[in-house]
Structure 1
Amino acid sequence: MKKNQLEIACFNYESAIIAQESGADRIELCDNMQLGGTTPNTVLAARVREKLSIKMHVIIRPRGGDFVYNDEEFIEMKQDIKSFKKLGVDGFVFGILNSDGSVNKKQNQELVHLASPLSCTFHRAFDVVDSIEKGLDDVIECGFQTILTSGRGKNVEEGIDDLIQIQKLAKNRIEIMPGGGLRSSNIKLLQEKLEPTFYHSSAITNNTQTANPEEIKELRNFL
């Protein structure tokens, strides 16, 4: 039977160690929290990989802002995937859209193929797709295993109705991972309405950029 699991978004080395020690199942390594997460540097990723026994995914996002990338940015994303694969990471997190809000199937498929056989998550670019149903089918067709989404809301509480709909539409073809403002204070609400899945949180509860170990333990207690 499928069970709930926990992924912690980590913006520094300390958070990654805290996540592992506090019971997380996986981390997503990122840089630039204020931009919503961008590609971390390979030096940090190598340090984290060396210390972690839990799974480690890496975000591939060359900048903040929208999810439409020019040719140079796309080349950078491909190079980053190649570099991180050499470090022994377990998966990648990215998402590319067209300017009309549809999923850029050609570019996403190319990155998924390049990342193979590692797992790929389509990140919160999904929160701004023009159509949930079409976007979902396109992401699945591209070969992603997971979609990280707040349900197109500012946070998971606001997007709960969309999260329910997306999970139903997915029909177990892809994992729907709620993320965006997820904390121990609201995870119970989601659990009551969603099928078992991975949950995603930074577990940051103060003005730092470092995960709070007590918050991770609280989140775990609900899973």
Structure 2
Amino acid sequence: MPLLEVCVGDPESLDAAVAGGADRIELCSALEIGGLTPTPGLMALAAAAPVPVYAMVRPRGGGFVFSQAERRAMLADIAAIRAAGLSGVVLGASRPDGTLDRDTLADLVGASAGLGLTLHRAFDLVPAIEPAVDLAVDLGFERILTSGRAVAAMDGLADLARAHALADGRLAIMAGSDLSADNVAALLARVPLGEVHGSCSATIGPDDANAQRLGFGGSRRRTDAGEVRRMKAALGSSG
């Protein structure tokens, strides 16, 4: 059965992902902007999880072209992730033309020695997937998280299949972006991937109207244990 990684951004979502049967956790903050490096407190909680936890290493929102100062911050974040006792890191870095930034990635990977490695959706910005897959293999990544260069993974099936073929067992291709229990079996029927990624979340409303009035509130999403179980069931029936 394909492995399910669930991305979470708060303590309740972490607990729900574990309760629902996630095989691995991607730990982030600020999922509403695609995920940033998690806080030390959240990492401390996640270190006690009974499944592997990989932490996002991303110092800000926006694209993945990083300055020297941002690179130094990312190196410090990797040290904090290691100190917290988590299993791995989720990395990505681009050049202005969208190609992967080998130099930055090599520095980050070097600092991550001994930790698991996921290349995140900076991959989805590349102009050509063949050299990007080869670079990920050369640098020692275990997997690439990708939507097939589309907004949603179901729209990127051709590139997902191409990346899977190019990987040829050298690393895993993990599909992610807008996947749910309702569509994951259809994706796997087209591309037989061994790993998938989702938030398994539901929208929760603003919890403090006064805070929202001052710009601190708003609706957000939280992982739901029932949705994780539904996703696991869908994966179990996909074969």
Instruction: Answer whether TM exceeds 0.5 for this pair.
Output: yes
2:42 is the alignment partner of 1:44: yes
Amino acid at match of 1:217: R
Q: Contact 1:103–1:139 at 8 Å: present in 2 too?
A: no
Q: So what's the TM-score if we normalise by structure 2?
A: 0.89
Counterpart Cα distance in 2 of 1:16 and 1:44? 9
Deviation digits for residues 26-84 of structure 1 (CA, Å, limit 9, x no counterpart): 1001011221101111121112213x111100000001111000010000000000011
Deviation at 1:217, TM superposition (A): 0.5
Gaps of 5+ in 1: none
Deviation digits for residues 134-158 of structure 1 (CA, Å, limit 9, x no counterpart): 1111121111111000000111111
Q: Contact 1:11–1:209 at 8 Å: present in 2 too?
A: no
Q: Contact 1:93–1:122 at 8 Å: present in 2 too?
A: yes
Amino acid at match of 2:144: I
SS at match of 2:162: helix
Aligned pairs for 1:138-153 (under 5 A) are 138-153=135-150
CA RMSD of aligned residues (A): 1.1
Amino acid at match of 2:106: Q
Structure 1 counterpart of 2:50: 53
Aligned pairs for 1:161-180 (under 5 A) are 161-180=158-177
Structure 1 counterpart of 2:104: 107
SS at match of 1:157: helix
SS at match of 2:223: coil
| Number of residue-to-residue matches in the alignment | 220
Identity across matched positions, percent: 33
Q: Contact 2:4–2:232 at 8 Å: present in 1 too?
A: yes
Counterpart Cα distance in 2 of 1:153 and 1:205? 22
Aligned pairs for 1:115-130 (under 5 A) are 115-130=112-127
Deviation digits for residues 79-131 of structure 1 (CA, Å, limit 9, x no counterpart): 00001101110000010111111111111111112111111100011111121
Deviation digits for residues 148-179 of structure 1 (CA, Å, limit 9, x no counterpart): 00000111111111111110111111100000
Question: Post-superposition, which runs of at least 4 consecutive aligned residues in structure 1 deviate over 4 A?
Answer: none
Amino acid at match of 2:5: E
- Name which of 42, 65, 70 aligns with 1:68: 65
